[in-house]
Structure formats: structure tokens, C-alpha cells
Amino acid sequence: MGCSGSRRGGQTVGEVPAWQLAGAAPSTIHPLGRSRVDVDRQVPANLVTPLCEEFSLVLVGDEASWSLLCARCQLQASFRSPDFDNGAVVGLIADVGECASGDWPIRLQVARVLDGEGWLEFSFGGGIYYPVKTAGYLELAYVPGLRSVQTVQVGRRSFILRPSGIQERQDSSWSFGNP
């Protein structure tokens, strides 16, 4: 079912086989913004799916949730609202400490969508991170056609979202999307 199946705030989408989704053509990505956030205080819980201790997926499928997220995270809403009838806003929160270089550590590189389900690939910049409890890094983008998320890759870590829970694979060599 992916991220939205039985979870709060999502729509149920039939599961596409992972091999088909991994082989789907890359979709257009429309970057919407970045913010430093306190995930427990700023991001509405019904929009967040924890993937592991460091990373959480954000999925926004309606205007009201988008407006609330923009207000709470002090995001500058784009000149027009995303078209939620034909896609969704996705984001990744990286709660990794403070990046010593000052660079933004995450970026949505590839989004693949087939029959409404998504396969998202985020880059994660390695380097030195000060181990302090601080605001996480949030990157958001609009992906046309997206309704549900089945797989999230962050660097070489893969997270498969299923109704039974999230499964993590650290070696992405099994995937079709990366060499």
C-alpha cells in the first residue's frame, strides 16, 4: 500500500510491484522549499512517517495540510498552491545534528511514479555532523501524479513502506534504480 495506505491522512492506492516502480521513468520534481524544523513541534504528526531514527518522510495531499505546514515551518508558499488533485508534496526530514560545513545535507534527486505510487531517491551529503540535538533539515517538493510512497532511498539506505511496517535495506545493490 505504501506510505498512505492505512496511515493517517493518506489515500489508499493499489500496490505496484517494486520492480515496475523502480523501472518507471523519472517524474518531474518541483522544489518548494527548505526549512530547519523541530519535527515534534512544527510538523503535523499526521503528515510524518518515521523511517528510522535519523530520517522521516513527509507526505502532503491536500491544501489545508499544506497551508498548516507552511505556517508552522515558516515556509514561503510558492506563488500558487500545488495541484493536489493531480499530485502530492513530499519531503524528507533529516535529524542528523548540525552539519559542520553549513551545506544542506539532503536533496530529492529522483521521483518515479506509476499508478499513483512513488519511489523517491534522496541524496545525503556525508561529512562531519556535530552530535547535538538541533532542528532537523526539511526539504519539500511537489511530484505530479503521486498519491502514495512505496520506497524511499536516502543515500545507500532503502526503506520499503508496507502496511506491516517499514523495512530497511542498507545495501542498495538490490535496487534497479542505482548501479
Amino acid identity, residue 153? Q
Looking at residue 26, the DSSP 8-state letter turns out to be B
Mean pLDDT of the chain: 82
SS3 81: coil
pLDDT tens digits along 69-114: 988 888 876 656 899 999 999 999 998 887 888 888 899 999 999 9
First to last CA, the chain: 26
Residue 27 has pLDDT above 50, yes or no: yes
- Return the C-alpha cell found at 119: 519511489
Asked if residue 2 has pLDDT above 80, the reply is no
Buried b (16+ CB within 10 A) or exposed e, 15-41: bbebeebbebeebebbebbbbebebee
Q: What is the pLDDT of residues 28-81, one digit of tens each?
A: 999 998 999 987 788 999 999 999 999 999 999 999 999 999 888 888 766 568
C-alpha to C-alpha distance for 70 and 77, rounded to whole angstroms: 6
Residues sharing a CB contact under 8 Å with residue 60, sequence separation 6 or more, in sequence order: 47, 66, 69, 82, 84, 88, 89, 90, 91, 140
